[in-house]
Structure 1
Amino acid sequence: MSPVDSFDEPDDDLLARVFLTRVLEPGDEIGGRWVREFGVRGVVGRLRELGGPLPGVSRKRWDGLVARAERAVPREDLAVAQEAGVRFVAPGTAEWPRQLDDLGDARPLGLWVRGRADLRMWALRSVAVVGARACTEYGAHMAATLSAGLAERGWVVVSGGAYGVDGAAHRGALGANGATIAVLACGVDRPYPRGHTALINRIADQGLVLGELPPGDHPTPSRFILRNRVIAALTRGTVVVEAAHRSGSLVTARAARRLGRHTMGVPGPATSGLSAGVHELLRQDAVLVTDAAEVVELVGGIGELAPERRGPVLPRDLLEAGARQVLAALPARASASVAEIARGAQTSQDDAVARLYELRALGYVERHDDGWKLTRQAMISVRGDPSAR
């Protein structure tokens, strides 16, 4: 064992966790159980002793883990990370978001973090906005608008840094001068996708970029899927904007549901395959949301309510109920007698006369000989322009 590999200092646990990020894949529940039962240094010791496998794995898989362990040099990883402005945040430390402990044995061994903000504090008030990579203009617009609204309300937007909805969500938050976190499925010193290098670097400057994998590690399909559990656990709720039936963002939503987090979906056209997965979530137990206020009403504190949704107030809505009944009793084009109007309004003739004079003062009706008739202004504002029918 070289000096660079020795774990004989007060930061032994941190070095052991960094070591294991080179050996165990993210979300490995068997490895997580070993850490829980034997401790991180105990697991590292067994991997280096070249003895028999720990319980739960075959000899073949154990040999593969040992081969990985032989190449792990944690102090070098920490040095590379430090040079790239990356720190390692371990469970139990002040910056560790405790909600990640809800993942049990699938909890990350630690997180590599770029950015100056405090991860634990930001995660306490965060929402995930995820969705299709090949999103439509509608999906990109909704993701950006939702995220900008969340940022303006003091919420941190969390997504995966990918093309499509993820990128639109990050840009929406950044454009509102808000906070955003990108959770990557690779080493945070090598942004992926490469086309988002500038975006991810901007996120690191204005927000946080984090991941489970050590410096230089590359993404794989399985790592993308396993990354999604971190997004779900880190946040108060997950909003899905456009997702087909087979979409990684649905994995995030289902993980959020299992963890007891809020699950939300933005509806799209019923004919759009890119919204089919979202609609299936909504048919189950996800909550339909259309803007940031509705998201905050669900994930926020008591009193953070979305405004009540209602149509425009019409002039007729401001009338008393009796006056509205009399107004509704007048025919659209012809005049009517007081007796006819009273019958239609189910009131007395005296009350009808009083209401008609009130309505005349407001410009709704006019008197024609012995009858009453709607004014043209009233026909347009109350019943629509008859010439357009």
Structure 2
Amino acid sequence: MTIYDPDTLAWAYLSRVVQGPSTYLGTLVEQLGVQEAARCVRTGDLPLEFREKTQARAHLDTARRDLDLMEAMGGRLVTPQSPEWPAWRMLAFDGLGRAAEDNSPCALWVVGSEKLADVTERSIAIVGTRASTSYGDHVTAEIAGDLAADGWTVISGAAFGIDGAAHRATLGVGGVTVAVLACGVDRAYPSGHARLLQQIARSGGVVSEYPPGTTPAKFRFLARNRLVAAMSDGIVVVEAGWRSGARNTATWGRRLGRPVMAVPGPVTSASSAGCHRMIREGEALLVANASDVVDVAGPVGVGDCSEDEAAVRALDSLSGNSRLVYEALPGSGSRSVNQLAEESGLLINHVRATLPLLELEGFAGSDTTGWFRIK
């Protein structure tokens, strides 16, 4: 039988009793320590307001059972004392109000092969409607796949529609993805994504602030959205109705200081009405691909120019004969050395001396038909 340290048992107990964000609990732990805070909750040695919020579940000390279940699933409880706690992500909650939902989670139940702090170090959240169209699925797959291939973690909520498309595209390119649930991590929700959640756990992680056995509920989805936003560098909304949970995630993103982006859709599509509204009202920046997303949410200097712009800047290094011979190369097809001499106005021996230099620098190539332009 696994022996758990007292702090871990206390965190697991508090997670079961409080179930979600709590303003008072954070203050209590900070002042007394987690073990003493757990004792106060268990005995009811609390101010009346908080005692009334915890007394209904204060007797539910299932900490050891919950931790055993997580261990059997290959999971663990990640607490603010854990090395893998995404501490700098959670700092964003410090600047919010005193409402309960404005707080960071008590602890996080995680099933996954990677450390949570590591996989959320460079991450983008992709969310959207459950009733996605083929257009939305396609755009989501393109953006998620390209981000994942470039080393970004893709975070979403494992729902049907856009969420599922983002997770599957990431897995399809061998990337890392994280699913944040509004129920216990031992529950496959939706049930149709049971296998997908298993794949996500092997790739990155399945995360919840709710203890094992907790069932989904509307208020838990709204609370879950704040974690999706908090653990990302930015939020991309692909297809969202006029009123949707995805827009709630975007709202959390703005509150937490994360850039919010939206993908436009056909003007006749009700599925994109929410995205169009966010763009029109200045709530989100318009993005069309992964490069746009990195421009907005990536580190300064990353993704700040297009491939065409990069090529133009590289050409600035060409001068003299190199520039003349390069300009003589055709945009399509190839030319012989004699043709290039005529086109550039240079002597043949000068063209022959210049072409290998252009080839070494990646500007030109040759085959049996002659020389051609690469960039």
TM-score for both structures, normalised by structure 1: 0.72
Give deviations 1:25-69, integer Å, cap 9, x for gaps: 312334334333443333322222234x42644xxxx34522312
Residue in structure 1 matched with residue 15 of structure 2 by the alignment: 21
**CA RMSD between the two structures:** 2.2
Residue in structure 2 matched with residue 350 of structure 1 by the alignment: none
- Of 56, 59, 71, which aligns to 1:82? 71
Distance in 1 between residues matched to 2:211 and 2:4, nearest whole Å: 21
Does the alignment pair 1:102 with 2:92?
A: yes
The within-5 A match list for 1:230-269 is: 230-269=227-266
Does the alignment pair 1:54 with 2:47?
A: yes
Residue in structure 2 matched with residue 307 of structure 1 by the alignment: 306
Residue in structure 1 matched with residue 112 of structure 2 by the alignment: 115
Does the alignment pair 1:172 with 2:172?
A: no
Distance in 1 between residues matched to 2:30 and 2:124, nearest whole Å: 29
Question: Shift of residue 273 of structure 1?
Answer: 2.1
Distance in 1 between residues matched to 2:305 and 2:189, nearest whole Å: 36
Residue in structure 2 matched with residue 379 of structure 1 by the alignment: none
Give deviations 1:196-232, integer Å, cap 9, x for gaps: 0011111111221111111121111110110010010
Question: Does the CA-based 8 Å contact 1:26-1:227 persist in structure 2?
Answer: no
Distance in 1 between residues matched to 2:262 and 2:232, nearest whole Å: 15
The within-5 A match list for 1:1-389 is: 11-51=5-45, 53-54=46-47, 56-57=49-50, 62-63=51-52, 65-98=54-87, 99-104=89-94, 106-283=103-280, 284-301=282-299, 302-307=301-306
Taking only the aligned residue pairs, the percentage that are identical comes to 43
Residue 67 of structure 1 aligns to a residue whose secondary structure is coil
Distance in 1 between residues matched to 2:270 and 2:303, nearest whole Å: 33
Distance in 2 between residues matched to 1:50 and 1:122, nearest whole Å: 38
Gaps of 5+ in 1: 311-360, 362-389
Question: Shift of residue 136 of structure 1?
Answer: 1.1
Question: Shift of residue 78 of structure 1?
Answer: 0.6
Residue 262 of structure 2 aligns to a residue whose secondary structure is strand
Gaps of 5+ in 2: 95-101, 310-342, 344-375
Question: Does the CA-based 8 Å contact 2:294-2:303 persist in structure 1?
Answer: yes
Moved over 4 A (4+): none
Distance in 2 between residues matched to 1:50 and 1:91, nearest whole Å: 24
Question: Shift of residue 266 of structure 1?
Answer: 0.4
Q: Which amino acid aligns with 2:302?
A: G
Distance in 2 between residues matched to 1:29 and 1:252, nearest whole Å: 21
Q: Which amino acid aligns with 1:100?
A: M
Larger-Rg structure: 1
Question: Does the CA-based 8 Å contact 1:294-1:306 persist in structure 2?
Answer: no
Distance in 2 between residues matched to 1:33 and 1:277, nearest whole Å: 37
Question: Does the CA-based 8 Å contact 2:77-2:107 persist in structure 1?
Answer: yes
Distance in 2 between residues matched to 1:304 and 1:64, nearest whole Å: 48
Question: Does the CA-based 8 Å contact 2:13-2:62 persist in structure 1?
Answer: yes
Question: Shift of residue 271 of structure 1?
Answer: 2.4
Question: Does the CA-based 8 Å contact 1:130-1:249 persist in structure 2?
Answer: yes
Question: Does the CA-based 8 Å contact 2:294-2:302 persist in structure 1?
Answer: no
Residue 180 of structure 2 aligns to a residue whose secondary structure is strand
Give deviations 1:267-295, integer Å, cap 9, x for gaps: 11222222121122212241111001111
Q: Which amino acid aligns with 2:67?
A: L
Question: Does the CA-based 8 Å contact 1:86-1:189 persist in structure 2?
Answer: no
Distance in 2 between residues matched to 1:64 and 1:108, nearest whole Å: 16
Residue in structure 1 matched with residue 330 of structure 2 by the alignment: none
Question: Does the CA-based 8 Å contact 1:30-1:56 persist in structure 2?
Answer: no
Question: Shift of residue 260 of structure 1?
Answer: 0.9
TM-score for both structures, normalised by structure 2: 0.75
